[in-house]
A and B are shown apart, each in its own frame.
Chain A
Amino acid sequence: MKTLKANRRTFLKASGAGGLGLILAAQQAPAIAQKRPPNILFMHLDQQHWEAVSAFGCQHLHTPSIDRLAARGTSFSLSYSANPVCCPARACWYTGRASSENGVVMNDKWPIAKEMPDMGQWFSARGYDSVYSGKWHVTARPLTKSFRVLTPGSGIGEMTDGMVSRAAEGFLRSRQRSDKPFFLNVGFLQPHDCCYWVFEHRENTPLTRFGPPPADLPPLPANHRFDPNEPAPLRALHSGRHHRSKWTAEHWRWYLWNYYRMVEMADAEIGRVLNALDDTGLSEETLVVLTSDHGDGLARHALTSKMFLYDEAARVPFIASMPGQIQSDQRDTTHLISGLDVAPTLCDYAGIDGMPKARGVSLRNLLENHQTDPWREFLVAETFRSGRMVRTPEYKYIAYHNDPVKQLFDMRSDPGELKNLATDASKADVVRNLAGRLDTWEKHLEAYPLKELPPKRARKRKKS
């Protein structure tokens, strides 16, 4: 796979554009004459670590289907979830708006802003057949109000991901050339089943296998430790339900081994959908995008799961493919992209107007190797209601509202995010600069008025 790198000078020194630090000039891609709009296949995984793919160098698993897609398209290594939790990340994809704006700041309890359209509605109103197979999980927005639903999936990947891929396959194989273009969304749940695995092994529940451990248990990552002086929300993760203090090194490695098998399960389902696309000749006229809502701790910082802003949770794979238009076999290691870029990119390829006040930017110029300067100098991701991350090519700055502990990592010399430089006097200017960008970004948002707790839960708490 070829690696694309941009010269450092291609980044702006400072973004006066506000918003997410986007450079709006990059939004307009050259018009390409087409007889009809392309089909769009948007596939997403749940809890897929950005590195857990063979094609990206992981030696501990086999992902021939994702590898195939990567080989025929362009992938990004600096791709970040807009909010590394299921519901928020998905609401960001589908509205193009930041969590603070669309209202979905955490799982399940905070509903999406009613008036905000989602991509299903948007594409349907513009001539697309918007269909959905699999996991949706956007709070308070019934899937059936936005898409034609092939199958809704369930909360267990091993039970229903096969149905999800079969439904998508059936849909693709039954398409007629005369049909209107489709916007097929396929939401796989794997490797999210790892959450159940962790739940079941919280107290090292025995009896999950019979023989000795497999000979190929992956090694622990180099950053399998954490700073005890983390911000309070992270300390809570280390002592709360993410707590794994009873796990031995072998337990952690056994977890990794199992996680990789779940990724392989997802890969097989992706392969079924790609085969259908190829067999029907639709590949040539279909934009395919594959990404994940968030990553997984995967033993980094002695964590599993998500809801935090270290790379293992916040960084996600992103691959786009469209033969003849998108560069094949390319890996972009330079440009920062966000989950908020999904909606602008899909709208751009569809040739329809962008979603209202979308905060991301179309990736089309990057994907097609057109003029990409200037590109954004930084992006922001959120988590919980209070966590914010500013990522530049060099640094990551993490701040939680009302928490005195800030974090600054030099992502080039310390990609494992182990050495917090926030209080290093020599980095004071960097901290000030990034905190300023964060302020600018927040002021730019049209924040959705969040209640302290949704009424139902608040009532329950009051009663108790």
Chain B
Amino acid sequence: MNSDSSMTTMPRDWSTLGKRLDNWSPPSGGFDPSIQWATHYARHSLIPERNGKPGGARAGALHIEYTLKNDDLVRLQVSEVEKAGFTTMTTQAGINCANNGLLTPRRWSLSCSWQNPLKVVKNSELDQQQKGHVEGKELVLQGSSERRVPAPRRWTTFWNLFAAIQHLPFDASATLNFDLFEAFDQHKAQQRITYAGRHPIALKNKSLDLHVFEQTGCGIMPWHWWLDDQHRVVLAAGNRRAYLLMECKQGGVA
């Protein structure tokens, strides 16, 4: 186990992606996370190169759009594509959030649509439409029926973290404590995000100097959030899953 001082070689989050990074260039230029932006990430598995097979296979994408509606309200539009074997699932979420440090959702809609080329399963058997909102101290989840669950005092979703982390300062005071509701239905308590310093990344044809936040908590493996000086999330990496920034546009659609 290593601490900051020993981070002298390529961090595992990056080395696992290996050759996938050879032709990758991080978006550059100015960026203000507090006004409208859109980011597009490639979704990779974090399996190291083994027996000559390159690591970090690509399996889907994540697209997030951030719009500041007014002083109190932020709108996030999310689309995540996941692939497994011959099936593809696309999750789309529209989230109205409080303009607080966690971008806590207030009202949302979520849909899951499937592509399954096998004719034996109809899309209508798997596709879903859900919505939800916060009502008093409860989350109200509505789909084929209604479910109410207690709302933690401080909570957000995994997707919202892509935006929330971009607002954190790069210093040790930047700590977030909260509960996670992954995809609005999977409660994972006792999350903590802390600033872990600045680290050089030496890629094949370029070097980067990035800031890292580490997230730990129930129901997740430690996540590392890598940000550039402009506060863009360049790479979000869990244990076996990573999102690599491919495009970032201020004010437009990535």
Contacts and interface: CB of A to CB of B under 8 A. Distances in A.
Given A167-B114, A173-B144, A265 B185 contact: no
A171 B126 contact: yes
Nearest to B222: A209
A166 B183 CA distance: 10
A193 B241 CA distance: 11
Interface of B: 1-4, 6-7, 9-12, 45, 47-48, 50, 59, 82, 84-87, 89, 91, 112, 114, 116, 118, 120-121, 124-128, 143-145, 147, 182-183, 185-189, 194, 196-197, 212, 214, 216, 218-222, 224, 238-241
B221 A206 contact: no
Interface stretch (A2-10, A105-113, A194-202, A444-452): A194-202
Given A167-B87, A279-B143, 8 more contacts: A149-B121, A151-B89, A156-B47, A196-B47, A200-B48, A210-B196, A261-B221, A279-B144
A309 interface: no
Nearest to B8: A207
7 contacts: A152-B86, A173-B144, A196-B240, A206-B6, A261-B221, A267-B219, A268-B187
B84 A154 contact: yes
Interface residues of A, number: 58
Contact of B85 (A153, A158, A265): A153
Nearest to A265: B219
Given A149-B118, A170-B126, A170-B127, A258 B221 contact: yes
Nearest to B80: A162
Contacts, number: 172
A326 interface: no
A153 B48 contact: no
Contacts of B238: 158
Given A158-B221, A267-B219, A150 B121 contact: yes
B128 A169 contact: yes
The 7 closest A-B pairs by CB, nearest first: A152-B85, A210-B196, A170-B126, A158-B240, A264-B219, A268-B186, A279-B145
Contact of A207 (B11, B194, B221): B11
A206 B84 contact: no
A214 B125 CA distance: 43
Nearest to B82: A163
Interface centre among B87, B147, B188 (most CB of A within 10 A): B87
B82 A261 contact: no
A144 interface: yes
B194 A200 contact: no
Nearest to B4: A210
A211 B1 CA distance: 9
A214 B221 CA distance: 12
A362 B164 CA distance: 52
A371 B220 CA distance: 44
A18 interface: no
Contacts of B125: 150, 170-171, 174
Interface string A412-429: 000000000000000000
Interface string A204-237: 0111111111100000000000000000000000
